[in-house]
C-alpha cells in the first residue's frame, strides 16, 4: 500500500526544481539524495523519480529529480502526489503516534460504543491534526487530540470519541 509523503505544488525556477508540500514526519529520509519516489500524476498515471537534491524553502521543500531537467517538464508534475510504500516505513516508537494510513478506515464510536461513522482522512492544518469522518454521508471534522479522541485501537479497528457538546451535531 502506498501513502502520500508529498505533493508537488509548482515548478520553481527554470531548471526543473519543484516546490513540494511535505506530508511526512521524516522528510530527511523520504527526500534524501538517491531516494526513488513513486509519483501519481493528475491524470492517474504513475512514474518513478530519483531525487538528486532537496532543500527547505519558505515552508516547503525544493526538490530536484534526475528525470526533470527543465521548467516545462516540471510544470507537467504540478499537483502530482509523491508516494512511499507503507512496508518501507519504520514502526512508530511512540504509542501515541500513528501513520495516517493506520487511522484511515477505522470506525469511529462514542465512549458508550454508539457508532458515529468512519475515518476517511487525516487532515494536517496549522492548528493541528483533524480526523475527517464520514457520518452517514456527512463529513465531520474532529480535532485529533487526546481529550476528544481518548482511544485509538488500531488492532480493534476503531477510534473512540468523547466529543464536546455540539461537535457532531448537524448544522
- How many C-beta atoms surround the C-beta of residue 108 within 10 A? 24
Average of per-residue pLDDT across 124-136: 88
* Domains of the chain with CATH codes: 2-87 (2.40.30.60), 100-161 (2.30.30.240)
How would you label 145-165 residue by residue, b for 16+ Cβ within 10 Å and e otherwise?
Answer: eeebbeebeeeeebbbbebee
Query: Looking at residue 170, what is its pLDDT?
Result: 74
Environment class of residue 8 by beta-carbon count within 10 Å: exposed (0-12), middle (13-18) or buried (19+)?
buried
Segment 68-123, tens digit of pLDDT: 999 999 999 999 999 987 776 667 777 778 888 889 999 999 999 999 999 998 88
Segment 9-44, tens digit of pLDDT: 999 999 999 999 998 877 888 899 999 999 999 898
Amino acid at each position: 500500500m502506498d501513502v502520500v509523503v508529498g505533493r508537488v505544488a509548482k515548478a520553481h525556477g527554470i531548471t526543473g526544481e519543484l516546490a513540494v508540500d511535505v506530508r511526512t514526519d521524516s522528510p530527511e529520509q523520504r527526500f534524501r539524495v538517491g531516494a526513488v519516489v513513486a509519483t501519481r500524476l493528475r491524470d492517474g498515471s504513475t512514474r518513478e523519480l530519483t531525487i538528486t537534491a532537496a532543500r527547505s524553502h519558505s515552508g516547503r521543500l525544493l526538490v530536484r529529480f534526475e528525470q526533470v531537467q527543465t521548467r516545462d517538464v516540471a510544470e507537467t508534475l504540478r499537483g502530482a502526489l509523491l508516494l512511499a510504500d507503507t512496508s518501507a516505513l519504520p514502526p512508530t516508537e511512540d504509542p501515541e503516534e500513528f501513520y495516517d494510513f493506520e487511522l484511515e478506515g477505522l470506525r469511529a464510536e462514542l465512549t458508550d460504543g454508539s457508532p458515529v461513522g468512519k475515518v476517511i482522512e487525516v487532515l494536517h492544518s496549522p492548528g493541528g491534526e483533524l480526523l475527517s469522518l464520514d457520518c452517514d454521508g456527512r463529513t465531520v471534522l474532529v480535532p485529533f487530540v487526546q481529550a476528544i479522541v481518548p482511544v485509538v485501537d488500531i488492532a480493534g479497528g476503531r477510534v473512540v470519541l468523547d466529543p464536546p457538546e455540539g461537535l457532531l451535531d448537524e448544522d
